[in-house]
């Protein structure tokens, strides 16, 4: 009997070594359910591991119902830039002020070739009624679509969930959606992420400022310093020599060998 128990660890170690030599997909099969299989918590399917939404990674595609009809997200973006921003819930005070502010800036986003789309964890019927309040409170007209995400599918896909809310899912098995901002370029790459707690409203001017910086950098091959605004001097990237920078931009102001400013046309 003792020899049987002594052989068990050896058998387990052998199995572990075999598993370690298998491809990742095979190892996950040996180990049990894939880590990407959803875990059901009070009836809500919660991904066990979120996708890695790094800067430069492709924005996950999805299909959804919006206040402007059904969309395929990538098709909706088309050849434009896009901003996707989420809200915890309809008929809440901070969200109402935010949607009103973004609605008023539609012309600014249009001028930059940026499509806006919101998301709130309620259904379309609720959105339609909430938009009436937003228009009244902000004295504006919401013209961009708002995604209905009552089941939190898009919220989980984009990891728009606060860990505290995930740990304390309410009696309906639903976690709130935090305030997230994703700026996505025409190639569907994520270029900016911002995450805010539910208690803090966003700075819409900062969103526009970052878009200006990203688009200027793409067009001119420069970087931008702290608090940069359109028209301010920009920074020559370290990868560009001073001689090449002078050929490209003209005057270059060297503060340090690694910190050089220049002026560009708007």
CA distance 59 to 33: 26
CA distance 64 to 75: 12
Q: Are 99 and 118 in contact (CB under 8 A)?
A: yes
- Give the burial class of 148: count Cβ atoms within 10 A of its Cβ; 0-12 exposed, 13-18 middle, 19 or more buried: buried
| Contacts of residue 122, Cβ cutoff 8 Å, sequence gap at least 6 | 89, 90, 130, 148, 149, 150
List phi, psi (to 5°) of 216.
-65, -45
Coil vs helix vs strand at 215: helix
| Strand arrangement, sheet containing 114-120 | 69-72, 63-66, 146-148, 114-120, 81-87, 179-184, 190-196
Backbone Cα Rg of the chain: 24
CA distance 196 to 182: 12
Beta strands 63-66; 259-262: pairing state: unpaired
Single out the residue of 77, 52, 45 nearest to residue 62, CA to CA.
77
Catalytic residue among 82, 83, 95, 161: 95
95 is catalytic: yes
CA distances, 13 to each of 4, 10, 22, 27, 236 (Å)? 15, 5, 15, 15, 56
Annotated catalytic residues are 95
């Amino acid at each position: 009997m003792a020899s049987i128990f002594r052989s068990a660890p050896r058998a387990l170690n052998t199995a572990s070594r075999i598993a370690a030599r298998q491809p990742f997909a095979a190892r996950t099969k040996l180990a049990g359910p894939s880590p990407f299989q959803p875990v059901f918590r009070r009836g809500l399917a919660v991904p066990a591991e979120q996708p890695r939404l790094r800067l430069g990674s492709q924005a996950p595609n999805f299909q959804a119902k919006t206040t402007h009809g059904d969309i395929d997200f990538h098709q909706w973006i088309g050849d434009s830039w896009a901003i996707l921003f989420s809200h915890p819930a309809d008929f809440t005070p901070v969200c109402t002020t935010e949607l009103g502010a973004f609605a008023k800036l539609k012309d600014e986003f249009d001028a930059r070739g940026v499509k806006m789309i919101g998301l709130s964890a309620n259904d379309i019927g609720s959105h339609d009624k909430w938009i009436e309040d937003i228009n009244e409170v902000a004295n504006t007209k919401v013209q961009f679509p708002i995604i209905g995400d009552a089941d939190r599918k898009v919220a989980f896909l984009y990891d728009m969930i606060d860990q505290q809310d995930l740990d304390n899912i309410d009696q309906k098995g639903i976690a709130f959606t935090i305030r997230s901002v994703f700026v996505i370029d025409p190639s569907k790459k994520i270029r900016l992420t911002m995450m805010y707690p539910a208690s803090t409203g966003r700075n819409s001017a900062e969103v526009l400022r970052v878009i200006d910086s990203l688009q200027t950098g793409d067009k001119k091959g420069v970087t931008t310093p702290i608090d940069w605004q359109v028209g301010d001097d920009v920074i020559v990237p370290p990868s560009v020599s001073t001689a090449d920078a002078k050929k490209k931009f003209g005057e270059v102001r060297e503060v340090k060998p690694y910190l050089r400013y220049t002026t560009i046309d708007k």
